């Protein structure tokens, strides 16, 4: 009887301890389902084939490079070709084409004799002679150099007399792919985070001039309100898009603000007050209020 | 294609002969023993020892380490062993067939499910090893880089010009195995194979332990599979870390010691020595494991085999075996400690402590013995370990990961079987019947060592060296369930079987996804050309903070060397200060050369990480024909101001003065 009781207690304790383990670790099963959702959302690598007069001479799978052109629209890829194939392709460039995802793309020359180029709507593919490095580095450096600015002047020459800076925005980021490893930034375009609740744009103007400023931003809050104040004409238009943009792990709402500014020569300030902001995103960048994707400037006179 | 086929044939031939000759040698050493599992364990241990000795002899003594010398020497050693042991044949197939028949004689559906899950799991692990690239931060920082250096230099220099201090004090036995599995194909696809093999060896080790104590075959098999499915085992089986080798080798060594206590055959000590030798070659913490094992072994030897102390013939035989064992240990792992003595004047080399992985600076450190004594004198760590015991053992605070951050990886099987077995194992110290069981050596060493390590070892990853504990205690649970006649009750058998299947299924499911990677890119990665399937493209650690650099490096010709900054000073909060932790061997074939730049010699840096170059930098870059410079220490990059250095992507500079 006593031995029977011991057996019962031991077996019960064993089951209980295992149940406790499962109960306390049930979140691991949720992670598992998230993992499978991520995996099934992924796509296989694009195939690239180099054809010369209809003949396949080279093929390779392309992974996302995550290196973008200055507009943040096309990813830049580099393929190193064996010297003999590169020479042949260059010599027969009129009959050469690159097949990317069943799409036939013509090749063109570049400023460098060791590089050819094919451009699609979302890709720029450089074919390089084996070992070519300097041109590759130059291309990336050039694009990055020009990608650093998100202030767009619609009126020609306007940007020569105006510069905008801020102590309340972070570094230029993005664009980020839908498959970015950090869910919170998947699908985000090029832009800068601006901190809340208050931020200031410091606008340097070489002369007195009236300009129309368009601020494109993404907000995490559908009912975000932005008040603008400064040496400015009153807010003219608030154009809120009601359709939320699902940017991966972060749901963002695009909003466009258009204001008239009457800029004076020298320093001008545009004060912004956000109604909502989130907690710190990372060290050094606190209270994220909105992600500015572009600031457009247009002569208002 | 032809080269690949040829490499594959050479790989199969050489490794086949290593295993075959080790089996023969095991049959010779265990000629009075009919246990298949024991023989398999012995053959596995001897195979690892064979590989280790070949690489060490060529790399250190002959200084001629390459794709030709390695297979040739191995073949010579295999042939010699086969010649010497030619009369000791013990057919594997016949023994395996008999063991299979005995294990599966009854219609046990639980057993079929367990075998099915095991089969699928092994396939998954093989896929992860071969198809997915190496991962885990410290694998790239210090487990693999020495193998790359050995490959590039063609020998094993005693001190590597490294930015990671701990490399030069660490025993690198597992890196030796990684080198072996690289050199046949000159490709890193199999570098994780040693840990998987250690995990697989855990099967026969567990079976042998339980069979030695009288557990029937089918139950031994079930509990062995349960032990194999410990999360810590499944997670670490696909890494290039060393903890599985340490812990499985430890249990194998204890197994042979226990067999010696049972049979009294001194040659069994040689096998224990081989296992302990391998352990010593894997981890600087191994000596404390072995000291504890020998301490308990000596006490039991006095009680169980007293003739070895009283009879002069027996004593002489024991002394001879001990001397031969010492030679084996020296051959397998002596090099690392001799090197440390010769280069650093102490056994633990550049390590700050014999026990911790913290890597404190050499200058501030006392001797190893002082250090150990001072740690034992402080009970603070023990209290911290006690407080953390429940959260760690139940794994609930953090996600599963091979580095065991904040968890033990012991899984539900330890909660269900191990914790209760622990109570019995403690009680066994006071129970004559339990003390007489062969497994008592293992359970008592496991308990005492676990407690001892609680005094000296606590950090966020500290359970990595403690996986012997669940392995032994679950086996112990199996043995005690049988000997207490629990398993004679049908309803207890049913519960036990269900717990085993549920635990195995849990581990299988929760560890199936390679969540250490960028999962949305898994499909892309798998479909890439082999050359592009590298860690730099995929492993989350690398692509998270610096995706552009790592993905770009993949398309930069491997013939382009790269220099990288290195300095012990930390330039930003959260950065690992003690070493320059980074991995720059992006190509599968380990061809790219890297050069560490000691920061103060080449740069003037402010505290904010903004640096100006010194003239000597350009001279160095020109002389070594280097155009690429990484300014990132770990994953935080210094800002370099120099007109000749263009920042291509964050942290990667192109030197314009190279031509």
Burial B241-265 (b: 16+ CB within 10 A, else e): bbbbbbbbbbbbbbbbbbbbbbebb
Q: Which residue has the higher pLDDT, B34 or A99?
A: A99
Determine how many CB atoms are found less than 10 A away from the CB of residue B13.
Answer: 14
Check residue B556 and report its DSSP letter. Answer: S
> Which pair of tokens denotes residue B468?
């012997």
- Residue whose pair of structure tokens reads 């909003």 in the numeric block: A255
Residue percentage of chain A with pLDDT more than 90: 37
Q: B-contacting residues of A 115-154, CB under 8 Å?
A: 130-131, 133-134, 136-137, 140-141, 144
Taking each helix axis from N to C end, the angle separating B312-329 and B268-280, rounded to the nearest 10 degrees, works out to 30
Q: Is the pLDDT of residue B148 over 60?
A: yes
List phi, psi (to 5°) of B402.
-65, -20
Residues in A closer than 8 angstroms to B486, CB to CB, are 7, 10-11
Per-residue burial over A99-119, b if 16 or more Cβ lie within 10 Å, else e, is bbeeeebebeeeebebbbbbb
HSE-CB for B194 with a 13 A CA cutoff: 32
Share of chain B above pLDDT 90, in %: 66
pLDDT in tens, B472-500: 999 999 999 999 999 999 999 999 999 99
Instruction: Identify the burial level of B373 via C-beta atoms within 10 angstroms of its C-beta, where 0-12 means exposed, 13-18 middle and 19 or more buried.
Output: exposed
Yes or no, beta carbons of A22 and B526 under 8 Å apart: no
Residue range B211-228, pLDDT digits in tens: 999 999 999 999 999 999
Question: Is B495 in CB contact (< 8 Å) with chain A?
Answer: yes
* Among candidate residues B515, B536, B538, the one with its CA nearest the CA of residue B526: B538
pLDDT of residue A242: 43
On whether any CB of chain B is under 8 Å from the CB of A101, the answer is: no
A5 touches chain B (CB under 8 A): no
Longest Cα–Cα distance of chain B, Å, equals 82
- Rg, C-alpha atoms of chain B: 25
Name which of A25, A131, A248 to mutate to probe chain B: the one with the most chain B Cβ atoms within 10 A of its Cβ. A25
The predicted structure's pLDDT at residue B574: 44
Q: Which of A11, A17, A141 sits opposite B492 (nearest CB)?
A: A11
Residue B197 confidence class, pLDDT cut points 50, 70, 90: very high
A55 contact partners, CB below 8 Å, separation of at least 6: none
CA atoms of B220 and B480, how far apart (whole Å): 12
Mean predicted confidence (pLDDT) in B266-272: 96
Chain A residues with CB under 8 Å of B495 CB are 11, 14-15
* Interface with chain B: mutation pick from A2, A3, A10, highest number of B CBs within 10 Å: A10
Minimum CA–CA partner of A16 in chain B: B416
pLDDT of residue B598: 81
User: Per-residue pLDDT tens for B616-656?
Assistant: 999 999 999 999 999 887 667 888 999 999 999 888 999 99
Instruction: For B526-578, write each residue's pLDDT tens digit.
Output: 999 988 888 877 777 666 677 788 888 888 999 999 998 876 555 544 444 45
Report pLDDT for B354: 34
- CA–CA separation, B487 vs A126, rounded Å? 69
Q: What is the structure's pLDDT at B136? A: 73
**Cβ contact, residue pair A14, B416, below 8 Å:** yes
Annotate A77-97 with b (16+ C-beta within 10 A) or e (fewer).
bbbbbeeebbebbbeeeeebb
In the beta sheet, which residues pair with residue A81?
Answer: A129
What number of other Cβ atoms are within 10 A of residue B595's Cβ?
17
**pLDDT tens column, B16-69:** 999 999 999 999 999 988 899 999 999 999 999 999 999 999 999 999 999 999
Q: Across the interface, do A65 and B551 touch by the CB < 8 Å criterion?
A: yes
Cβ-count burial B609-622 (b if 16+ within 10 Å, e if not): bebebeeebbebbe
B419: which 2 tokens? 């914790």
- The better pLDDT of the pair B403, B476 is held by B476
Overall average pLDDT of the A87-96 stretch? 95
Identify from A42, A76, A136, A138 which residue to disrupt to test chain B contact, counting B C-beta atoms within 10 A and taking the largest count: A42
pLDDT at B195: 96
Q: Decide if pLDDT at B430 tops 60.
A: yes
Q: Tokens standing for B605?
A: 């840096």
Q: How far apart are CA B19 and CA B574, in angstroms?
A: 46
A8 in contact with B, Cβ within 8 Å: no
What is chain B's mean pLDDT, rounded? Answer: 89
Mean predicted confidence (pLDDT) in A5-30:
95
State phi, psi for B10 to the nearest 5 degrees: -60, -45
Distance CA B42, CA B40 (A): 5
CB B202 within 8 A of CB B223: no
Q: Which residues of chain B does A179 touch, with a Cβ-Cβ cutoff of 8 Å?
A: 518, 520-521, 524
Question: How far is B160 from chain A, CA to nearest CA, in Å?
Answer: 29
Task: Name the nearest CA neighbour of B595 among B160, B150, B59.
Answer: B160
Quote the pTM value: 0.89
Cβ distance of A24 and B649 shorter than 8 Å: no
Average pLDDT over residues B271-292: 96
Q: Is B513 on the interface with A (CB under 8 A)?
A: yes
- pLDDT value, residue B165: 72
**Model pLDDT for residues A63-73, shown as the tens digit of each residue:** 888 889 988 89
pLDDT at B568: 57
Please, are residues B350 and B297 in contact by the beta-carbon 8 Å criterion?
no
ipTM: 0.91
Q: Which residue of B has its CA nearest to A13?
A: B416
Q: How many residues does chain B have?
A: 659
- The residues, any chain, with a CB within 8 Å of residue B210's CB and separated by 6 or more, are B219, B220, B223, B224, B439, B475, B478, B479
Q: From the CA of B536, how many Å to the nearest CA of chain A?
A: 12
């Amino acid at each position: 009887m006593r031995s029977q009781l011991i057996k019962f207690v031991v077996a019960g304790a064993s089951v209980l301890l295992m149940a406790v383990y499962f109960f306390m670790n049930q979140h691991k099963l949720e992670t598992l389902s998230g993992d499978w959702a991520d995996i099934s959302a992924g796509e296989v690598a694009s195939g690239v084939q180099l054809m010369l007069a209809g003949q396949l001479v080279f093929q390779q799978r392309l992974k996302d490079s995550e290196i973008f052109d200055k507009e943040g629209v096309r990813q830049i890829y580099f393929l190193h070709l064996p010297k003999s194939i590169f020479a042949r392709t260059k010599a027969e460039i009129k009959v050469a084409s690159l097949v990317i995802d069943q799409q036939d793309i013509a090749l063109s020359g570049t400023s460098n004799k060791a590089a050819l180029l094919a451009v699609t709507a979302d890709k720029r593919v450089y074919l390089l002679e084996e070992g070519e490095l300097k041109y590759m580095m130059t291309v990336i450096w050039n694009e990055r150099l020009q990608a650093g600015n998100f202030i767009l002047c619609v009126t020609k020459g306007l940007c020569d007399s105006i510069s905008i800076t801020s102590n309340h925005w972070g570094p230029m980021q993005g664009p980020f792919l839908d498959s970015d490893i950090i869910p919170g930034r998947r699908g985000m375009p090029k832009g800068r985070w601006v901190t809340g609740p208050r931020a200031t744009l410091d606008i340097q103007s070489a002369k007195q001039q009236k300009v129309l400023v368009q601020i494109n931003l993404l907000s995490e809050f559908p009912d975000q309100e932005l008040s603008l104040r400064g040496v400015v004409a009153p807010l003219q238009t608030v154009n809120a898009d009601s359709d939320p943009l699902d940017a991966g792990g972060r749901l963002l709402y695009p909003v466009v603000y258009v204001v008239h500014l009457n800029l004076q020569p020298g320093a001008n300030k545009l004060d912004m007050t956000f109604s909502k902001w989130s907690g710190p995103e990372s060290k050094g960048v606190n209270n994220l209020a909105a992600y500015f994707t572009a600031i457009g400037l247009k002569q208002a006179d | 294609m032809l080269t690949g086929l040829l490499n594959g044939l050479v790989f199969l031939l050489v490794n086949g002969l290593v295993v075959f000759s080790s089996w023969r040698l095991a049959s010779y050493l265990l000629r009075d023993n009919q246990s298949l599992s024991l023989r398999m364990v012995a053959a596995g241990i001897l195979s690892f020892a064979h590989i280790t000795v070949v690489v060490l002899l060529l790399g250190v003594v002959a200084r001629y380490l390459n794709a030709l010398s390695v297979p040739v020497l191995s073949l010579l050693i295999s042939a010699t062993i086969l010649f010497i042991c030619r009369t000791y044949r013990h057919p594997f197939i016949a023994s395996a067939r008999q063991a299979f028949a005995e294990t599966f004689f009854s219609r046990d559906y639980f057993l079929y499910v367990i075998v099915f899950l095991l089969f699928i799991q092994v396939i998954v692990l093989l896929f992860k090893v071969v198809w997915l690239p190496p991962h885990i931060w410290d694998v790239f920082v210090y487990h693999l880089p020495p193998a790359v250096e050995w490959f590039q230099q063609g020998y094993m220099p005693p001190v590597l010009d490294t930015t990671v201090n701990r490399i030069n004090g660490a025993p690198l036995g597992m890196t030796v195995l990684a080198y072996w599995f690289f050199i046949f194909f000159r490709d890193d696809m199999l570098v994780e194979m040693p840990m998987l093999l250690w995990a697989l060896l855990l099967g026969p080790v567990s079976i042998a332990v339980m069979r030695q104590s009288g557990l029937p075959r089918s139950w031994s098999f079930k509990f062995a599979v349960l032990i194999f499915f410990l999360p810590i085992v499944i997670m670490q089986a696909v890494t290039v870390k060393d903890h599985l080798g340490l812990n499985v080798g430890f249990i194998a060594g204890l197994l042979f010691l226990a067999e010696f206590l049972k049979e009294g055959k001194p040659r069994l000590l040689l096998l224990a020595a081989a296992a302990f030798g391998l352990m010593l070659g894997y981890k600087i913490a191994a000596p404390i494991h072995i000291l504890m094992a020998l301490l308990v072994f000596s006490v039991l030897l006095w009680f169980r085999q007293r003739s070895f102390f009283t009879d002069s013939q027996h004593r002489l035989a024991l002394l001879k075996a001990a001397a031969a064992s010492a030679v084996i240990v020296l051959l397998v792992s002596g090099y690392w400690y001799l090197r440390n003595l010769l280069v650093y004047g102490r056994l633990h080399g550049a390590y700050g402590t014999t026990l911790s992985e913290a890597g404190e600076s050499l200058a501030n450190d006392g001797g190893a013995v002082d250090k150990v004594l001072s740690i034992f004198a402080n009970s603070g760590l023990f209290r911290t370990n006690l407080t953390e015991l429940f959260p760690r053992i139940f794994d609930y605070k953090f996600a599963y990961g091979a580095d065991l951050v904040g968890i033990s990886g012991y899984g539900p099987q330890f909660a269900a079987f191990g914790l209760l077995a622990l109570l019995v194992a403690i009680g066994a110290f006071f129970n004559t019947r339990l003390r007489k069981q062969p497994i008592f050596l293992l359970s008592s060493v496991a308990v005492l060592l676990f407690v001892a390590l609680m005094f000296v070892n606590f950090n966020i990853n500290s359970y990595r060296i403690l996986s012997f504990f669940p392995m032994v205690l679950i086996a112990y649970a199996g043995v005690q369930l049988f000997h207490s006649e629990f398993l004679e009750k049908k309803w207890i058998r049913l519960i036990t079987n269900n717990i085993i299947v549920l635990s195995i299924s849990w581990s299988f499911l929760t560890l199936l996804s390679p969540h250490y990677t960028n999962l949305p890119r898994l499909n892309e990665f798998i479909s890439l050309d082999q050359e592009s399937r590298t860690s730099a493209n995929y492993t989350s650690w690398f692509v998270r903070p610096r995706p552009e650099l790592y993905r770009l490096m993949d398309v930069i010709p491997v013939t382009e060397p790269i220099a990288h900054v290195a300095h012990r000073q930390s330039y930003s909060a959260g950065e690992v200060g003690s070493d320059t932790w980074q991995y720059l061997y992006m190509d599968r074939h380990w061809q790219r050369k890297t050069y560490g730049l000691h920061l103060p010699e080449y740069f003037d840096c402010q505290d904010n990480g903004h640096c100006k170059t010194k003239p000597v930098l350009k001279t160095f870059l020109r002389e070594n024909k280097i155009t690429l410079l990484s300014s990132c220490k770990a994953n935080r990059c210094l800002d370099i101001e120099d007109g000749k250095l263009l920042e291509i992507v964050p942290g990667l500079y192109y030197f314009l003065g190279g031509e």
